[in-house]
Amino acid sequence: MSTADAPAPKAPELSGPAPKILIVSAPYYHHVVDGMLAAAREIFAQVNAELSIVEVSGAFELPQGVAIAARSGKGFDGYIALGCVVRGETDHYEFICSAAMDGLMRVAVDNGVCLGTAVLTVDTLAQAVARSHETGANKGAEAAVACLRQIALARLMAI
């Protein structure tokens, strides 16, 4: 099944109050990240989430942005990270992708935060557009669903 043929995700059932979510966005490729942001907003609207959105310079800064917010005491229930890295002709791509994804996992585990990630690591801009398009599978929507599932788990374990 291609990305365009995949069904659009839906928000999972969530008990308790509407979640407070922070979206950390690295909008270097605005049209790609904006597409993921729009899809994430649609998922979060299904559970009446309270959204805050901040921007960081690039994918490398996403883990730092989530970490700063997690330590802020602002009471976010969950976070999503949105960004895109397109392969170029140098090793820079490999370093940035690894640092961003490893950093996000480390922040999530070390801080016990509910995190969904949509950091596209693609060979071409066309691949990124296909994963951030309005129809079919959208990685922003998938990140929002992942975040909400983590929140549901955290709330279940708190019982």
| Structural domains in the chain, sorted by start | 19-157 (3.40.50.960)
Annotated binding site for 5-amino-6-(D-ribitylamino)uracil: 28, 59-61, 84-86
- Is 31 part of the annotated catalytic residue set? no
- From the candidates 30, 31, 92, 133, give the one annotated as an active-site residue: 92
What local confidence, expressed as pLDDT, does residue 136 receive?
Answer: 64
- The pLDDT confidence band at residue 7, using thresholds 50, 70 and 90, is low
pLDDT band at 159 (very low <50, low <70, confident <90, very high): low
Report the relative pairing of strands 20-25 and 115-122 from DSSP bridges: unpaired
Model pLDDT for residues 81-92, shown as the tens digit of each residue: 999 999 988 888
Q: Which residues are annotated as a binding site for (2S)-2-hydroxy-3-oxobutyl phosphate?
A: 89-90, 131
**pLDDT higher than threshold 80 for residue 6:** no
Residue 17 banded pLDDT, cuts 50, 70, 90: very high
Which residues are documented as binding site? 28, 59-61, 84-86, 89-90, 131
| Residue that has been written with the tokens 């998938």 in this structure | 142
Both tokens of 118, joined, read 């949509």
Neighbours of 138 (CB within 10 A): 26
Alpha carbons 43 and 12: distance in angstroms, whole number = 9
**Which tens digit of pLDDT belongs to each residue from 18-77?**
999 999 999 999 999 999 999 999 999 999 999 999 999 999 999 999 999 999 999 999
Q: Is 4 a residue whose pLDDT tops 60?
A: no
pLDDT at 1: 42
pTM for this entry: 0.91
Q: Mapped to the 3 state alphabet, what secondary structure does the chain carry?
A: CCHHHCCCCCCCCCCCCCCEEEEEECHHHHHHHHHHHHHHHHHHHCCCCEEEEEECCCHHHHHHHHHHHHCCCCCCCEEEEEEEEECCCCCHHHHHHHHHHHHHHHHHHHHCCCEEEEEEEECCHHHHHHCCCCCCCCHHHHHHHHHHHHHHHHHHHCC
